[in-house]
């Protein structure tokens, strides 16, 4: 049974009433009365709650309990605990089927996993403050635990249980959608983590690292699976190993959206043999890129190739890549062309000014030779130069063109680019993992602890991603930051009286909008 919003007798002194929206009447306590600089009477006031229009009683807020002395209170709460964040993420986990999946495979620890993941969303990766957070958050009895040995808890999350969890979770998330795949690096100071090695670090950290590969649903924006592997292994080499997990989990004929770094012969042949489709940007550096663009050059800028939803031209040609039948989609973006032209000419003008001031150098730097024919005049002790217009035209020849390759022959040029643009979400989620969930560093020192903590972080990322999707899909909340949403949910308080009686603090308008956006109704768990 849900607790009621508790009402108390209206104070008889030092209060004023002010009307709000929809007949709401706010009650203020007068802290101090005085005259302003014009000699007019005024006062300093603080909001202490709302007036119940039916009974005339006060529905108090937190400030009421801070201001009024004990003898004037109707009844003091024994505890005032934060409730909103735990409640919201608990309900979202139930809705996703995440709670049931965790219960099936972590029967003794699922409450700890879920609770710790919510803590990570709210407070970050450092476990130092977990005990304080648990003490200040309302939790059902079965969710209460001691946080003093969090490292041992993370180490106890076994590999077999995680694999069985992923088997069920990936099958639960089998939407008919493309899957985005990407990799990020997570640095560490620890010396005891075997997977931590020196490698290409995407954050330019001069530290050993582990690599994290992850699958995301393109449409649902929900994390599906992750794998942690050695920090020195190149991205392109790991893809086949990552995709082989799809066989373990029983996922067939996946559609992948990937970065151009994964466009290798072994990767594409593996996907073809396994019946997977792929979308990959075609690198400008590939020898056949100019040939493919020239094939469509005479006809691409025609009305039949204009894609209004993308505001650019687009067409496609058939091609064989590593003996695989693919379709190459070529786009011409007028805005991208104009931007590239302006940027290039600005760069050339800057180089020309530097050339004028160069004097007589011992050698001519390469950067000038890309755009100018430069010669030394020994007798006059200076250099002579002129723009090489043929080189400049050659550089601009393919400006504004974007090329993609796909094995999904059924896709139109419009469909393909809309799908690929959705891939930006995985980079955003990686940014959230590192910055919002504070996983730019591992903050663990041994392999088992690291692996268990990454699993809890994965659960946290699922919940945060789902909340974000709902918040941004709602007209009332779509412009809010997730940090603002979490702060508002944290303010939803549950008060306990006499050990058994409970009530919620009155909800603010923002809190009501958030709960409505999430599709949940406040109740006692």
Each residue of 448-468: pLDDT tens digit? 788 888 899 899 989 999 999
Residue that terminates a domain, selected from 59, 76, 93: 76
**Nearest alpha carbon to residue 213 among 245, 172, 167:** 245
**Pairing of β 324-332 and β 312-321:** antiparallel
pLDDT at 69: 65
Q: Is 66 domain-assigned? A: yes
278 vs 280: CA distance, rounded Å: 6
Q: Report, in this order, helix, strand and coil percent for the chain, each rounded to 5.
A: 40, 25, 35
pLDDT at 248: 72
Pair (273, 364) in one structural domain: no
Q: What are phi and psi of 481, to 5 degrees?
A: -85, 155
pLDDT in tens, 472-513: 999 999 999 999 999 999 999 998 876 567 888 888 899 999
Q: Helix 334-356 to helix 389-396 angle, to the nearest 10 degrees? A: 150
Quote the number of domains for the chain: 3
Pair (313, 415) in one structural domain: yes
Pair (323, 361) in one structural domain: no
**Nearest alpha carbon to residue 488 among 472, 506, 510:** 510
Pair (186, 226) in one structural domain: yes
Q: Is 175 domain-assigned? A: yes
Handedness of CA 131, 135, 138, 144 (dihedral sign): positive
Mean pLDDT (10-residue bins), the chain, 525 residues: 61 88 89 84 89 85 77 65 96 96 94 94 86 92 84 88 89 69 69 58 63 77 78 61 71 76 85 86 88 93 95 95 92 95 94 80 77 75 83 91 93 91 69 64 66 89 92 94 94 81 85 96 91
pLDDT at 85: 96
Pair (259, 407) in one structural domain: yes
Q: Is 337 left (phi over 0), alpha (psi -120 to 50) or beta?
A: alpha
Residue that terminates a domain, selected from 396, 412, 428: 396
Pair (259, 323) in one structural domain: yes
State in Å, rounded, how far the first CA of the chain is from the last one. 9
Pair (31, 169) in one structural domain: no
138: CB partners within 8 A, 6+ apart: 79, 81, 82, 83, 86, 494
Q: Is 312 domain-assigned? A: yes
Sheet holding 178-187, edge to edge: 223-230, 209-217, 178-187, 255-257, 277-281, 401-406, 324-332, 312-321, 306-307
Q: Which domain holds residue 362?
A: 335-396
Pair (24, 169) in one structural domain: no
Q: Is 223 domain-assigned? A: yes
Handedness of CA 158, 162, 168, 169 (dihedral sign): positive
**Pairing of β 178-187 and β 255-257:** parallel
Q: Is 139 domain-assigned? A: no
443 vs 430: CA distance, rounded Å: 17
**Nearest alpha carbon to residue 386 among 369, 402, 401:** 369
Q: Is 381 domain-assigned? A: yes
Pair (349, 437) in one structural domain: no
Q: Is 414 domain-assigned? A: yes
487 vs 457: CA distance, rounded Å: 20
Pair (178, 254) in one structural domain: yes
6 vs 486: CA distance, rounded Å: 25
Q: Is 196 domain-assigned? A: yes
Say if CB 98 and CB 165 are below 8 A apart: no
Return the DSSP state at 191: S
């Amino acid at each position: 049974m849900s607790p009621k919003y508790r009402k108390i007798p209206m104070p008889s002194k030092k209060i004023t009433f002010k009307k709000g929206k929809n007949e709401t009447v706010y009650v203020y306590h007068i802290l101090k009365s005085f005259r302003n600089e014009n000699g007019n009477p005024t006062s300093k006031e603080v909001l202490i709650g709302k007036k119940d229009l039916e009974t005339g009683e006060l529905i108090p807020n937190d400030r009421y309990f801070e201001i009024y002395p004990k003898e004037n209170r109707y009844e003091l709460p024994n505890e005032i605990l934060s409730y909103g964040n735990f409640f919201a993420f608990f309900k979202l986990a139930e809705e996703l089927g995440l709670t049931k999946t965790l219960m099936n495979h972590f029967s003794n620890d699922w409450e700890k996993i879920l609770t710790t993941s919510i803590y990570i969303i709210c407070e970050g990766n450092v476990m130092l403050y977990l005990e304080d957070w648990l003490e200040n958050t309302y939790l059902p009895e079965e969710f209460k635990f001691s946080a003093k040995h969090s490292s041992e808890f993370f180490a106890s999350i076994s590999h077999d249980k995680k694999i069985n969890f992923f088997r069920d979770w990936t099958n639960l998330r089998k939407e008919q959608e493309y899957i985005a795949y990407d990799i990020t690096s997570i640095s560490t100071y620890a010396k005891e983590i075997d997977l931590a090695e020196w490698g290409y670090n995407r954050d330019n950290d001069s530290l050993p690292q582990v690599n994290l590969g992850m699958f995301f649903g393109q449409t649902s924006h929900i994390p599906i699976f992750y794998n942690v592997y050695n920090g020195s292994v190149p991205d392109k080499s790991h893809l086949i190993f990552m995709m082989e997990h799809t066989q373990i989990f029983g996922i067939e004929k996946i559609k992948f959206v990937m970065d151009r770094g994964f466009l290798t012969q072994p990767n594409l042949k593996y996907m073809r043999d396994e019946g997977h489709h792929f979308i990959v940007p075609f690198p400008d550096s590939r020898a056949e890129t100019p040939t493919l663009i020239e094939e469509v050059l005479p006809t691409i800028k025609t009305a039949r190739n204009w894609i209004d939803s993308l505001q650019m031209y687009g067409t496609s040609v058939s091609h064989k890549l590593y003996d695989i039948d693919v379709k190459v989609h070529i786009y011409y973006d007028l805005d991208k062309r104009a931007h590239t032209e302006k940027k290039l000419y600005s760069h050339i003008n800057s180089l020309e000014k530097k050339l004028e001031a160069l004097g007589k150098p011992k050698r001519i730097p390469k950067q000038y030779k890309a755009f100018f024919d430069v010669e030394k005049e020994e007798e006059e002790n200076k250099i002579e130069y002129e723009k090489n217009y043929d080189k400049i035209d050659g550089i601009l020849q393919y400006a504004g063109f974007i090329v993609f390759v796909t094995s999904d022959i059924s896709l139109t040029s419009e469909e393909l680019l809309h799908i690929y643009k959705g891939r930006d979400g995985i980079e955003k989620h990686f940014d959230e993992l590192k910055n919002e969930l504070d996983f730019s560093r591992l903050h663990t020192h041994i392999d088992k602890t690291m692996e268990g903590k990454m699993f809890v972080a994965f659960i946290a990322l699922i919940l945060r991603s789902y909340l974000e999707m709902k918040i941004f899909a709602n007209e009332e909340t779509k412009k809010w930051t997730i940090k603002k949403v979490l702060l508002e949910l944290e303010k939803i308080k549950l008060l306990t009286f006499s050990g058994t009686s409970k009530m919620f603090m009155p909800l603010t308008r923002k809190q009501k909008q958030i709960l409505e956006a999430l599709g949940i109704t406040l109740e006692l768990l």
